[in-house]
Amino acid sequence: MSISIPPSATRSEQHPRECRILLAIARVHDLLNDGENASVFYKKVLRLDASNVEAIASLAANHFYGDQPEVALRYYRRLLQMGANSPEVWQNLGLCLFYAAQYDMALKCFESALAAASDDTAADVWYNVGHVAIGIGDLGLAYQAFKIAISVDSNHAESYCNLAALEVRKQNPEVARSNLKMAQTLAPYLFEPFYNAALLAYRSGDLQEAHMMCVKALEVYPEHGDSKQLLKTLHDHFTVL
C-alpha cells in the first residue's frame, strides 16, 4: 500500500534534503532582496553539502553587503581552500580585507586577481583597485587604475564616472564633463553620472543643466537623498529668481 502525499505539500516539504530545491528557494529570496531568508536557506544547503560553491559564495556576498566583511572573509577563504582560484574570488577577498582595514593584504589579493584575470574581467579588477586606492588616499594610483580599466574595456562606465570625480579634483571640469557624458551614454541605468553632472553644473552656475541632470538621476534612483536635496536647492533658487 503506497502513502499519498497531500496536494498542499510543497516540493521542499516532500524533499527536505534536496539541495537543488533549497538553492532555488534561496535564489528567489535573493531576487526579492531578502538576504536574511536567503542566508537561512544557503546555510541549510551547507549543512547538507559543506562544499557547495554557490551557497558559500552567496553567503559571503550577503555578509559583505550586510556590513560584515570579517564574516565574509571566512567564506571567501574557504572558497580558495576548495580551489576556486578565480579573479572574482580574489578581488572579493581583497575588498573584504580592505573594509576590514587590512590594507596590505588587500593589495596582495588584487595582485593575485590581476594575475588570474582575463580580458573580460581585468577591467573590473582595475576598477576595484582604483576604489581601494581612493580609500587609502593614493589618488595617483586611483587615476592610473581607472585609466587602465578603460584601456582594457572602453565601455566601462563606472571607471569613466570615477575618473570624472578625480578630474574635478585636478581642476579639469571640461574633461570631467566629457567623462560623465560618456558614462551616461554607456550606462543610462546608473544614477551617479547624472548626479555628479548635476553637481558639477550647479557649482559652475549652470542651474538649468543641473536641474535636468538631477531629474534624470532621480528617474533612475528616486530615493537618492543627495539628488533630492540638490533638486530642492535648485527649486529654491528658481523661486527667488
Q: Are 94 and 121 in contact (CB under 8 A)?
A: no
Q: For position 18, what pLDDT does the model report?
A: 78
Q: What are the structural domain ranges in the chain?
A: 11-85, 191-241
Q: For position 3, what pLDDT does the model report?
A: 47
Nearest CA-CA partner of 163 in 176, 151, 177:
176
Q: 21-52 in b/e burial notation, b at 16+ Cβ within 10 A?
A: bbbebbeebbeeeebeebbebbebbbeeeeeb
Say how far apart CA 12 and CA 110 lie, in whole Å. Answer: 40
Backbone φ and ψ for 45, nearest 5 degrees, come out as -60, -45
Instruction: Tell me the three cell numbers of residue 69.
Output: 566583511
Domain 11-85 class?
A: mainly alpha
Burial (CB < 10 A; 0-12, 13-18, 19+), residue 214, is: buried
End-to-end CA distance of the chain: 86
Neighbours of 74 (CB within 10 A): 13
HSE-up of 29 (CA within 13 Å, CB side)?
18
Say how far apart CA 101 and CA 99 lie, in whole Å. Answer: 5
Say how far apart CA 67 and CA 72 lie, in whole Å. Answer: 9
pLDDT of the chain along its 241 residues, tens only?
A: 444 444 434 555 554 567 888 999 999 998 888 888 999 999 999 999 888 999 999 999 999 988 899 999 999 999 999 988 889 999 999 999 999 888 889 989 999 999 999 888 999 999 999 999 999 899 999 999 999 999 999 999 999 999 999 999 999 999 999 999 999 999 999 999 999 999 999 999 999 999 999 999 999 999 999 999 999 999 988 887 6
Say how far apart CA 108 and CA 18 lie, in whole Å. Answer: 39
SS3 at position 187:
coil
Q: For position 17, what pLDDT does the model report?
A: 61
